[in-house]
Structure 1
Amino acid sequence: MYHVGGKVWGIADGIIQQTNLIITPSDHRTISNNEFVGNRIGPTDESANFQVVQESDRVIWKTGNRRITCRLPYWELKGEHMGVDLDLTIGGIGDSIPYHGPWTDLPVKSLAGNEHLCWASGSFTYQGKKYTLDEGWAVRERTCLGKGWDVLTLLGHSTGYIWRWCFSESVKVFCFAEPEANHFLGRVWSGDQVLGYGPGQITVEPLERWKDPMTDVTIPIKWKIRMESDAANVEMNVATWSRALYGFHLAKGYTTHYCVLGRTNGSVVFSDGRNVPMDDCQTYFETAKATVLPKG
């Protein structure tokens, strides 16, 4: 859910929903024109009946048929949007990551936001079929998109960004990179350790590209990512093969976001010599760029 408003959005104040869904067999390892659920996010897509209900131990966001209940450190996601009916619970693991900056900086920088690594359980229903999630991973993101919620200005860089998570029992890795803005942030979870990385410590190299027949756009589908610090060096080879799309459509232009699923192989080598392998780890990868167009 996005709580937005102002001139760039074309609505005074409202909620716009987003749902993406990719269902891919685990043995599918070749990029193709797969089916997916995705939607545009713009002023013509404002959701109805928006409410924020504050109770003594929880906050509930309601809009359309969806409801998100925040009862820290748990979140419940229920209801239907874009044909996907959720009944999920996610629980926070450790502390959140202020990858867009701490909330205390919001009045000065007009930008703040965090990620929170979570476990997930429950179910969802799509096209009459119920899918059960027993031991899943999740990420809860909360971000203020800057002054006026102007997401195009935030992404108005020629290089765009990557936003990537890798999940396994032994290690989890988060990496965000927006090279032209020199905005880099990484985290590694291994055992009871959490390691941080920033500008000058992260390199992202696309290795292979694919021309999407749906959009006629060529996107990277394989990557090499390195994260280096005195505490540990991380090297990851990422391959992706199932994609979805969404985008923000605003007064100043639009953004195009590619969400892809895949696997990561690599390792985390600690300064004390320990080597934690990443073998076929579940991976979510997102890339995006903005196209700014003047109003006619």
Structure 2
Amino acid sequence: MIEKIAQTNVNLEDQLSYKDLLPQGMPYLENNGFMIMGETDEGDEVSFVSCIFRVGGGKEGPWQVDDEFKGQTTFMVTPKDHHGKGMQDTKFVGNRSWATDDWSRATIEKTDDAVIWTLGNRKHICRPPYWEIKGEHMGVEFDLLLTGIGDAAYHKGPYPDLAKNNIAGFEHPLCAEGTLKYEGKTYTLRKDKSFGCQEKFTQPAFDLAQVLRGETYYWNWWASDRVRIFIYSYPQMNKSYSHVTVDGEDISFMENGQSDITMEELEYWVDPQTRLRVPVKWHFSMKHPNGNIEMDIEASSRTYYSYLTKSGATMHYGLHSHSEGEMKLADGRTIPLTDMRTYVEHGWTAIPLIADAC
């Protein structure tokens, strides 16, 4: 089954839990999660996210728990010709990820050649440069092999520096193969058309509902056989980051630890399930002396999930999208970005109410 030439700069130790290296009493968040955008043998498009979180910091902290695990699954299938027909109220599988719910305890096991995170019936089996996602959650069965296709971007810092910086983690580009099953149907991913990432980090936790009250953020991935772009933009925290790869070459769009990112919202959709007004078309730009990227993004379907912190509940939309545009590099190359499969995550505080029972 393992046929691809794999590439990674992470090691087995990077897959472990390190919350014990943070200062005693510090609220924390760890994630060992995976996002996949893929195409099936039949031509359908698939969006799948599987995350195992470890959170804590005490009853008075943002998560309101001492040390717990929680999980997230989102899953959606849409026909390939669904794109370009406007935003649709497409069926999807999703759940809220609240640490205060009664989650079954997880385990993190290190063997000679793997680190295995288990939560309920799901396993994330990490043996870089390969990862497996196996098991079932909410009726979605998954048996996936993920392969590293480039070096990870340690945008939160390397793990050996965690004790000094109190933060470490990365985004790792991957390709995917294997099967997803739901409601009696099996979806087989095409190896050459299915991409994604592992998001793995350990960091202090902040009260997300307080930070995102009246504000928002974007966490986006673009992926094709030639180009991969990852960005996040938290304007309210004065944070922005990008990682751009073209034909296996990293091209920096960072300046003084920040990226010049614009997500101009052009069109909105009122979600009939939530009655929330959600942006569904954007013009994206990123500028740097090394080059400029300009793209028009259009979403066609969505998933969503929710976190609960002390100051309220947040809503996070995962918008299955496609992009058109181009990248112009300072060395003279112009790279068309045509029908780029795109994951746009966009979140804000939906319920700004503190927990204050007496």
* CA-based RMSD: 2.0
Deviations 1:61-111 (A, max 9, x none): 112111111101111100001111110011122221233444456446544
**One of 161, 165, 168 as aligned partner of 1:112:** 168
Mean CA deviation greater in 91-100 or 180-189: 91-100
1:179-198 aligned within 5 A: 179-198=235-254
Deviations 1:194-217 (A, max 9, x none): 112233522221111111111111
Question: 2 CA distance for matches of 1:254 and 1:106?
Answer: 29
Partner of 1:223: 282
- Which amino acid is 2:219 matched to? W
How far is the alpha carbon of 1:35 from its aligned partner? 1.0
Question: 2 CA distance for matches of 1:171 and 1:85?
Answer: 30
How far is the alpha carbon of 1:116 from its aligned partner? 0.6
**One of 69, 72, 94 as aligned partner of 1:15:** 69
SS in 2 for 1:180: helix
Shift in CA distance, 157/231, structure 1 to aligned 2, threshold 3 Å? farther
Task: Say if 1:19 and 1:39, in contact at 8 Å, map to a contact too.
Answer: yes
Deviations 1:251-291 (A, max 9, x none): 33111100010111011111122111011111111001135
- Which amino acid is 2:291 matched to? A
Mean CA deviation greater in 101-110 or 65-74: 101-110
Partner of 1:60: 116
Shift in CA distance, 256/100, structure 1 to aligned 2, threshold 3 Å? farther
**One of 222, 231, 234 as aligned partner of 2:293:** 234
Question: 2 CA distance for matches of 1:3 and 1:132?
Answer: 30
Partner of 1:295: 355
Question: 1 CA distance for matches of 2:134 and 2:146?
Answer: 12
Deviations 1:168-198 (A, max 9, x none): 1121211211112221111221113211223
How far is the alpha carbon of 1:158 from its aligned partner? 3.4
Question: 2 CA distance for matches of 1:286 and 1:3?
Answer: 21
Structure 1 residue runs of 5 or longer lacking an equivalent are none
- Which amino acid is 1:48 matched to? S
**One of 171, 195, 207 as aligned partner of 1:137:** 195
1:39-188 aligned within 5 A: 39-103=95-159, 106-107=162-163, 110-135=166-191, 136-146=194-204, 149-150=205-206, 152=208, 155-156=211-212, 158-188=214-244
Shift in CA distance, 282/217, structure 1 to aligned 2, threshold 3 Å? same
1:263 pairs with 2:322:
yes
Partner of 1:245: 304
Task: Say if 1:239 and 1:263, in contact at 8 Å, map to a contact too.
Answer: yes
Question: 2 CA distance for matches of 1:289 and 1:44?
Answer: 20
Deviations 1:212-251 (A, max 9, x none): 1111111111111111122221111111010011011233
Residue identity (%): 36
- Which amino acid is 1:12 matched to? D
How far is the alpha carbon of 1:11 from its aligned partner? 3.2
Q: TM-score, normalised by structure 2?
A: 0.77
Partner of 2:16: none
How far is the alpha carbon of 1:112 from its aligned partner? 3.5
Question: 1 CA distance for matches of 2:318 and 2:65?
Answer: 27
Question: 1 CA distance for matches of 2:213 and 2:165?
Answer: 18
How far is the alpha carbon of 1:154 from its aligned partner? 8.0
Task: Say if 1:162 and 1:176, in contact at 8 Å, map to a contact too.
Answer: yes
Question: 2 CA distance for matches of 1:264 and 1:144?
Answer: 31
Q: TM-score, normalised by structure 1?
A: 0.92
Task: Say if 2:270 and 2:276, in contact at 8 Å, map to a contact too.
Answer: yes
Mean CA deviation greater in 46-55 or 227-236: 46-55
Partner of 2:343: 284
SS in 2 for 1:23: strand
- Which amino acid is 2:54 matched to? H
Structure 2 residue runs of 5 or longer lacking an equivalent are 1-51
Shift in CA distance, 123/200, structure 1 to aligned 2, threshold 3 Å? closer
**One of 260, 266, 274 as aligned partner of 2:333:** 274
Question: 1 CA distance for matches of 2:94 and 2:261?
Answer: 30
- Which amino acid is 1:206 matched to? E
1:211 pairs with 2:267:
no
